[in-house]
Structure 1
């Protein structure tokens, strides 16, 4: 016995009539959601048959939640059309992003959640007529004609929807700032029929490209065709006050570029392309140490080995550190750069390894951090063969381990570079009076940008070389003191007799500050 088709269900024509041009009503009545004000604007903007909608969004605004409901609305409310003398069964919806897994983890999950809610509501009968698989959502019996599919939009890849047309077609592009204009040109050539809708969204991380243009020169208010919306985390019911306060402190205030992108949903006018200015670092050279004699600091010896492309010097830096958090934590890391005993163009690694061994033997419980990119792995093995304890190998091209850092930084290099810059701004670091010009030249020339996920990237060194920016070998050793894996063991040399006195002094200062 053949399965009953959705088109044959007597309840379906009334359903289509009620919801076909009302995605907001569909989201509320069929999916059981209580939309925010921003989400309501989005649902209503998608009503026109030829809607072109672009969203710039902060984090935790319900954007992906809306995408899932809009995709199901388009799937279930457009059963057929007669166009150009032909009968077309079903609608086609394509959802793309630079990273297909992002689609699977985001919009697909929201569609699954919507189906569960649907099954527990007055429209549960619909659940018998469509299937959600890992890569496709389709109306039963019409898998090739009536579906929601995924398309890859990574750089250099062809677009899977090229040359495909449908009367009822919806294209959703998430993280659109990371999608090239070549992909959007293909999408434009596909969306040519009367009931073709396009929805794109991203954080405001780029000042060029189609997503940016859709909010500026191509927006409806400037005579273009794009309906531009902004989702602001500060007015989102999905972002808690605690989360907002943490983001404000973490990013350095509401006026910071990071806060404008990740929270306010803005395209900031980013006049600064470097993490730090020269004067910010200069005032901390020779400054009063951040760690007192009575605090249980740890000893780090950090090495960047001269090898490979664009590496000028082998640098060894000795730092005292205390604290394990970042600026929003109760114990943010403080660092005093005590000495830079190795600053050499020499390629005699055996001799330099010997110097490191003898220097660190004088330091209590010293941890040695070695950048093992390029030839650094061989240098680390030399140190181990010499008997150096606590040698930690660092590959800072790797992704971060902590989730909060994964969400904020592209890799470990970005994580420690940004946290070092924040320590400078918060005056939680001091520098010795050695190689000051190199330090200032390097620290003030660290270019950065944000990717489509609003994560920090540090400009690759080959790009820095093309721009004539000096190799940041010394500054890199400073940054490595802020790595996730830069753990330390308390030195046995700190003056414990001073700790109670120091604690009392700090408590008195804090009390005075709030008096």
Structure 2
């Protein structure tokens, strides 16, 4: 936004004293009368609470509640309505406000955008004269002529780094921390040491992505309700005028119902009290061994060959799984259905050359499969070797962010997207596991699938994040290689070549015969976990 300059200062404008007298202690009136805001009930509560001297307010919020919009009006109120402080026989000109988050970009995308929107509303109202006296840049807001004394600044609050407000003191000082649940607790110690004067105000806000840490405590043992100093507010999407009934219904459907952890955090503004739960249960996975078919031979299904490559790294297995796949959506009549019908490879005793040869033989054994291979670590070499063999391969890079906006808003990366989508399919009966597996392999699938720890993070919204392999290993959970490979069928860009129904049964029988031949050959040469033979 272009800077606006005036030879006169805000303090010399004859209208300013009356303006300050009206709004100095009334952020709600400022938001309504100066910015043209029509606040919701939750927004009203926040605007009233933050205007109290020395206020400490903590907001746990669902999505679409207008929380960030309120922040944008609050920072402008604090900038424009707090010009003087008198103490110790001196006059202090100006106010300071700092807006921080674990990710600084979140501040720019959120609070700064809302403040700029409020600035436009001010220009269209009766207080447009104010705009001659302040400037909003991409990273800073300030009163013209007092750039160093009277401002709003952005501060990064990354883990392990000190923050720019350390040692800063001013009578009129406001600190706002967005995405507060993701901010390291050490930063709050700095804030407490900074906010020492009677008009210092602190505002924290976040979704309740974890039931631990300082932000969680501001709603529990250090809240006013428990004898502490923090006023704890809850913004619920269910009572927000900024979301529709259809939106709420869609969130309930995609999250597994209004009692699911995701819905309670994303919509109701509650804390994820069981944030360390696993994606799937053993009971849900057992049901996937149902021998009934969910894809008919006369349907236009496709074949996928899915491979997670370990090659002995961290004693991980390299796995190949065959699947019949039909459908593309997350729900409805075209929801993705997957029948995993064979696990021809599960070994930690093959090198890149040998495993590439195994995959190549499997690929050529069926008609028009789509081959998806984990391209991380040793898998990258396998992908390159397959391409040299003239075999088309899709590189799975599931640490990357999702492409679709709806998935970006819900998942940290491709891995979280694929595994949560697989969970949803398991829950709704759209997955079948292979028949005739050994008891050991069957138990491996159940054990791996029922031990996929996840949690939520707030990164521009509530998102699923799967535990890393390092974090899983730290609590004794082995790499879920078979389940990882299976979940490739639920990657957002996992496509298949649909075959027509004509002759599908005959082709299927031919493929089964060829696969049986390959499996029989593999029995004599493919070692499994700890070197013993794998019975598939």
| TM-score bucket of the superposed structures, by smaller chain | over 0.9
Residue in 1 that maps onto 2:214:
210
Which of 470-479 and 167-176 deviates more? 470-479
Cα separation, 2, equivalents of 1:11 and 1:330: 64
Residue in 2 that maps onto 1:508:
none
Q: 2:125 aligns with which of 121, 129, 134?
A: 121
1:112-156 per-residue CA deviation (whole Å, 9 max, x = no partner) reads 001100000000000110000011000000000000000110111
Cα separation, 2, equivalents of 1:377 and 1:399: 19
Shift of 1:326: 1.4
Specify the SS of the correspondent of 1:302: strand
Specify the SS of the correspondent of 2:415: helix
Specify the SS of the correspondent of 1:106: helix
1:466 is aligned to 2:468: no
1:101 is aligned to 2:105: yes
Please, what TM-score do these two structures have when normalized by structure 2?
0.90
Specify the SS of the correspondent of 1:60: coil
Q: Does the 8 Å contact 1:441/1:470 carry over to 2?
A: no
1:347-374 per-residue CA deviation (whole Å, 9 max, x = no partner) reads 2332332222222223222110010111
Specify the SS of the correspondent of 1:339: strand
Shift of 1:384: 1.4
Residue in 1 that maps onto 2:383:
380
Q: Does the 8 Å contact 2:301/2:325 carry over to 1?
A: yes
Q: Structure 1 segments of 4 or more deviating over 3 A? A: 492-498
Q: 2:359 aligns with which of 330, 350, 356?
A: 356
1:487 is aligned to 2:487: no
1:251-287 per-residue CA deviation (whole Å, 9 max, x = no partner) reads 0000000000000000143176111111110121143
Q: Does the 8 Å contact 2:307/2:319 carry over to 1?
A: yes
Residue in 1 that maps onto 2:514:
none
1:190-218 per-residue CA deviation (whole Å, 9 max, x = no partner) reads 00001100000000111111110000001
Q: Does the 8 Å contact 2:209/2:275 carry over to 1?
A: no
Q: Does the 8 Å contact 1:335/1:481 carry over to 2?
A: yes
Q: 2:167 aligns with which of 153, 163, 170?
A: 163
Shift of 1:497: 10
Cα separation, 1, equivalents of 2:384 and 2:183: 42
Q: 1:450 aligns with which of 425, 448, 456?
A: 456
Residue in 2 that maps onto 1:401:
403
Specify the SS of the correspondent of 1:155: coil
Cα separation, 1, equivalents of 2:128 and 2:314: 63
Specify the SS of the correspondent of 2:46: helix
Q: CA RMSD in A?
A: 1.7
Cα separation, 2, equivalents of 1:385 and 1:411: 29
1:44 is aligned to 2:52: no
Cα separation, 1, equivalents of 2:333 and 2:500: 24
Q: Can you give the 5+ residue segments of structure 2 that lack an aligned partner in the other structure?
A: 507-536
Cα separation, 2, equivalents of 1:445 and 1:338: 22
Q: 2:16 aligns with which of 12, 17, 31?
A: 12
Query: Aligned runs of 1:81-480 on 2, under 5 Å?
Result: 81-270=85-274, 273-307=277-311, 309-327=313-331, 331-389=334-392, 391-433=393-435, 434=437, 435-453=441-459, 454-480=462-488
Specify the SS of the correspondent of 2:345: strand
Cα separation, partners in 2 of 1:109 and 1:448, compared to 1, 3 Å: same
Cα separation, 2, equivalents of 1:142 and 1:439: 65
Cα separation, 1, equivalents of 2:349 and 2:493: 28
Please, what TM-score do these two structures have when normalized by structure 1?
0.94
